[in-house]
Amino acid sequence: MITVAGRILVALAAAATLSVASAGGIEVVNFADAEQESRYMDLINQLRCLVCQNQTIAESNAELASDMRDVVKEQVLAGQSDDQIIGFLTERYGDFVRYRPPIVARTAALWFAPFVVAIIAFLLLPRLANRRRRVAIPASEQDNAKRLLSE
Amino acid sequence: MSEEAVAQTPSRKFHLVPLGIFILLCMVLAAGLRFDPKLVASPLIDKQAPHFSLPVLARPDESVSPESLRGKPWVLNVWASWCTACLQEHPLIVDLLAGQTTLVGLNYKDAPSAARSWLDNWGDPYTLSVIDQDGQAGFDWGVYGVPETFVIDERGLIRYKHIGPLTRAAIKEDILPLLRRLQANSQT
């Protein structure tokens, strides 16, 4: 029992360390209210760091990510809206900074191709399934089987 | 027998479909391998060069802005003394770009004294360098990996961006021909 409890404790401690480590890039920021803080957290978790491209600017320790966090912080404090802040960054770094790309003509394939493929698959599925059932046992084989069974 | 024959004809016809899909997938993946995900297309191409007004490294009491350079095409090269890739491209800039155009160095997040001695050591190909110590101008220009190089036309529009150290090919095949075209334009 003690060892089991011990293991759980170790696992919890490890998990806690990990989450602290992944939040390592975040500086202490003094916001006027909780709403600003939650907007800040929300924004830095949906913006991509261009240096380490598979991390958000919240996760990344790169200098650019820290600059970008500063910009987000300043603009949140200055009362800019989320759209204004994201716009400010995409003006400089492009839509790539957004983990959630906008739905525009250029990104239509990205957003809609999966649904189109799924629809095509559902349309083709019954036809393919039918054909396979028909091919499954040819008449001559069925006769053969009946003959063998009746013997 | 006849039923068997009917059943087999369509399946023969579709035999090659998986192969076709496989080849298509291979082509898409092969094309994907050629992309460098580190190179992010700049949204600033064909847009007005972002404003800055920064002190000149050699004469800190003077300042320069993109607006003051309008009328002729020019090149902005983002560099820093702490940047090893900058040293890698530096001989190419000295050999191929220096003297070809107004060449402005944006000294990014650097100590001016370190920047000056870097130029003393390795040679100064720049018409002038400006000091962007807090990196604000770099940020406005969408700089995310030093060195970066921009070509700006006579109207102040950014026409070309190279991310990472310049290569001989990039200078000879992209930058110099573009500069020749722009220089011809601005003279007419």
Question: Which of A73-77, A122-126, B29-33 tops mean pLDDT?
Answer: A73-77
> Chain B residues contacting A, CB < 8 Å?
1, 3-4, 7-8, 10-11, 37-38, 40-44, 50, 109, 135, 139-142, 144-145
Split into its structural domains, chain A has a count of: 2
Residue A25 has a pLDDT of 47
CATH of the domain at A60: 1.10.8.640
**Every domain of chain B and the residues it spans:** 2-34, 54-187
Residue A13 has a pLDDT of 54
A145 inside domain: yes
Mutate to test the interface with A, among B8, B52, B83, B139 (most CBs of A within 10 A): B139
CATH 3.40.30.10 assigned to B54-187 = yes
Q: How confident is the model at residue A1 (pLDDT cuts 50, 70, 90)?
A: very low
CB A47 within 8 A of CB A41: no
Amino acid sitting at position A141:
E
Phi, psi of B56 (to 5 degrees): -80, 135
Cβ neighbours of A134 in B, within 8 Å: 3, 7
Q: Convert the pLDDT of each residue in B57-89 to its tens digit.
A: 999 999 999 999 999 999 999 999 999 999 999
Asked if A135 and B141 come within 8 Å (Cβ–Cβ), the reply is no
Strand order in the sheet with B148-152: B128-132, B102-108, B74-79, B148-152, B158-163
Q: Which residue has the higher pLDDT, A134 or A122?
A: A122
**ipTM, interface predicted TM-score of the complex:** 0.76
- Biggest CA-to-CA distance, chain B: 97
Element (H, E) at B131: strand B128-132
Asked if B7 and A134 come within 8 Å (Cβ–Cβ), the reply is yes
Residue A131 sits in the same domain as residue A71: no
Q: Which residue has the higher pLDDT, B180 or A14?
A: B180
Residue A81 sits in the same domain as residue A36: yes
Residue A79 sits in the same domain as residue A96: yes
On the question of pLDDT at A105 being above 70, the answer is yes
A20 inside domain: no
Residue B186 has a pLDDT of 80
Asked if B140 and A92 come within 8 Å (Cβ–Cβ), the reply is yes
Q: Convert the pLDDT of each residue in A13-64 to its tens digit.
A: 555 444 444 444 456 677 878 899 999 999 999 999 988 878 999 999 998 9
Residues A42, B136, B46, B179: what is their CA dihedral angle, to the nearest 10 degrees?
-150
- DSSP states of B59-103: -TTSEE-GGGGTTS-EEEEEE-TT-HHHHHHHHHIIIIITTTSEE
Residue B27 has a pLDDT of 93
Residue A90 sits in the same domain as residue A111: no
**Least CB–CB distance from B1: residue in A90, A95, A140:** A140
The chain-wide mean pLDDT, for chain B, equals 90
A75 inside domain: yes
CA triplet B164, B168, B172: central angle to 5 degrees?
110
Long-range CB contacts (within 8 A, 24+) of B178-184: B178/B151, B179/B73, B179/B75, B179/B100, B179/B101, B179/B151, B182/B73, B182/B151, B182/B153, B182/B154, B183/B72, B183/B73, B183/B101
- High-pLDDT (> 70) share of chain B, %: 93
A84 inside domain: yes
A136: distance to nearest CA of chain B, Å?
Answer: 9
Cβ neighbours of B139 in A, within 8 Å: 67, 71, 92
Q: Convert the pLDDT of each residue in B96-152 to its tens digit.
A: 999 999 999 999 999 999 999 999 999 999 999 999 999 999 999 999 989 999 999
Q: Encode B80-117: b = buried (16+ Cβ within 10 Å), e = exposed.
A: bbebeebeebbebbeebbeeebebbbbbbbbebeebbe
**Any idea which residue has 């089987």 for tokens?**
A145
Residue A41 sits in the same domain as residue A77: yes
| Chain B touched by A95 (CB under 8 Å) | yes
Residue A62 sits in the same domain as residue A125: no
**Least CB–CB distance from A50: residue in B3, B11, B144:** B144
Residue A69 has a pLDDT of 94
A49 inside domain: yes
Q: How far apart are CA A86 and CA A41, in angstroms?
A: 13
Range of the domain at A116: 103-151
| Chain B touched by A53 (CB under 8 Å) | yes
CB B166 within 8 A of CB B143: no
Residue A107 sits in the same domain as residue A151: yes
On the question of pLDDT at A136 being above 80, the answer is no
A41 inside domain: yes
